[in-house]
Amino acid sequence: MKPARQRASQSWKLVGAFAAFGLFWGGFDAALPAIKEATGTTDGTLGLALFCIPAAALPAMLLAGPWADRFGRRTLAPALAAFALVAVGPGFATSGWGLVPAFLVLGMASGGLEVAVNGAAATIEAERGERIMGKVHAGFSLGGLLSSISVGLAREAGAPPVLLLGTIGVIIGAIGWWNRGAARPPARPQGPARARLRFTRPLILLGSLCALTFCIEAGLEGWSAIHLEDTLGASPAIGGLGPGLFMAAMVLGRVAGQSFGDRFEDKSLLVASGLVGAIGIEVAAVAPVPWVALVGFSLAGVAISAAAPTILSLTGRSSAAGDRGTSMAAVTSIAYLGFFLSPAVVGGLADLAGLRVGLAALGGVGVMLAIFAPRIGRLGIQAVGQGADAGSRPAHRVWLSQQG
Mean pLDDT, each 10-residue run in order, the chain (404 residues): 66 88 87 85 76 86 78 82 95 91 94 87 75 83 86 86 95 91 53 58 91 92 83 81 86 80 80 96 96 96 92 81 78 86 82 90 96 82 44 37 43
**Amino acid 287: pLDDT:** 96
- Type of residue numbered 80: L
**Amino acid 261: pLDDT:** 61
**Amino acid 99: pLDDT:** 92
The Cα 11–Cα 170 span in angstroms is 22
Do 26 and 144 meet the contact criterion of CB atoms below 8 Å apart? Answer: yes
The Cα 237–Cα 97 span in angstroms is 33
CATH no. for 196-404: 1.20.1250.20
Instruction: Read off the DSSP letter of residue 196.
Output: -
- Type of residue numbered 91: G
Instruction: Read off the DSSP letter of residue 261.
Output: G
Do 31 and 155 meet the contact criterion of CB atoms below 8 Å apart? Answer: yes
Chain mean position to CA 200: 22
- Type of residue numbered 130: E
Which residues of the chain form CATH 1.20.1250.20? Answer: 7-184, 196-404
Do 401 and 198 meet the contact criterion of CB atoms below 8 Å apart? Answer: yes
3-state helix, strand and coil shares in percent for the chain, rounded to the nearest 5: 80, 0, 20
Q: HSE-up of 47 (CA within 13 Å, CB side)? A: 9
Instruction: Read off the DSSP letter of residue 186.
Output: P
Cβ-based neighbour number of residue 294 at 10 Å: 23
**Amino acid 11: pLDDT:** 77
CATH no. for 7-184: 1.20.1250.20
Do 389 and 122 meet the contact criterion of CB atoms below 8 Å apart? Answer: no
